């Protein structure tokens, strides 16, 4: 139960950092060899090596994404959207040494220019202990949407 609680608190902290636009601190939660994947809505089980995905970032590309989102040049996110994340159904599905596989459900509300857009989906995390602290080695965010039509684009980090 202690591990479950620790993982939940880690995911809640990650969500809070994103909601507060503390993106540099959020990026610090990742390992140096991390990967962030958002598959397309028509192929949620898609493999980025062979299928079209919305996002397939290594740590360097993720740093670039964070830098763009923080700048005035990210027109879809300047001024920043307000977001509120709800992380639920957190389950540690595998433990192997210092590595954990975690599944969770998510609801993210994005409020921008007096419009609300809900993003519903799930996460798969592979966490590693680095110097005694949990870090994100792999983060897969699967959107449970038929399409991004009503949303237009994915300009926030889901």
Please compute the mean of the pLDDT values over residues 65-94 and round it to a whole number: 87
Contact 92, 6 (CB under 8 A): no
pLDDT at 41: 81
Q: What is the dihedral of CA 155, 15, 23, 45, to 10 degrees?
A: -50
Mean of the per-residue pLDDT values for the chain?
Answer: 90
Sketch the domain layout of the chain as residue ranges: 2-143
| Largest pairwise CA distance in the chain | 47
For the stretch 87-132, pLDDT in tens is 999 999 999 999 999 999 999 999 888 888 899 999 999 999 999 9
**What is the full DSSP assignment across 105-118?**
EEEEEEEETTEEEE
Q: Which residue pairs from 38-43 have beta carbons closer than 8 angstroms and sit at least 24 positions apart in sequence?
A: 38/140, 38/141, 38/142, 38/143, 38/154, 38/158, 39/140, 39/142, 41/143, 41/145, 41/146, 41/147, 41/148, 42/147
pTM: 0.90
The whole-angstrom separation of Cα 43 and Cα 52 is 8
Class of the domain covering 2-143: alpha beta
Judge whether residue 72 has pLDDT over 90: no
* CA pair distance 59, 13, nearest whole angstrom: 20
């Amino acid at each position: 139960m202690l591990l479950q609680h620790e993982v939940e608190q880690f995911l809640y902290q990650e969500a809070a950092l994103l909601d507060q636009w503390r993106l540099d601190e959020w990026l610090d939660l990742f390992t140096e060899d991390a990967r962030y994947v958002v598959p397309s809505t028509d192929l949620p089980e898609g493999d980025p090596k062979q299928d079209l995905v919305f996002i397939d970032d290594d740590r360097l590309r993720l740093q670039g994404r964070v830098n763009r989102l923080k700048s005035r040049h990210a027109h879809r996110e300047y001024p920043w959207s307000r977001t509120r994340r709800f992380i639920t159904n957190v389950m540690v599905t595998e433990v192997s040494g210092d590595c954990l596989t975690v599944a969770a459900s998510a609801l993210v509300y994005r409020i921008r220019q007096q419009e609300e857009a809900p993003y519903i989906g799930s996460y798969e995390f592979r966490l590693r202990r680095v110097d005694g602290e949990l870090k994100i080695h792999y983060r897969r965010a699967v959107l449970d949407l038929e399409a991004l039509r009503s949303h237009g684009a994915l300009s926030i980090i889901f």
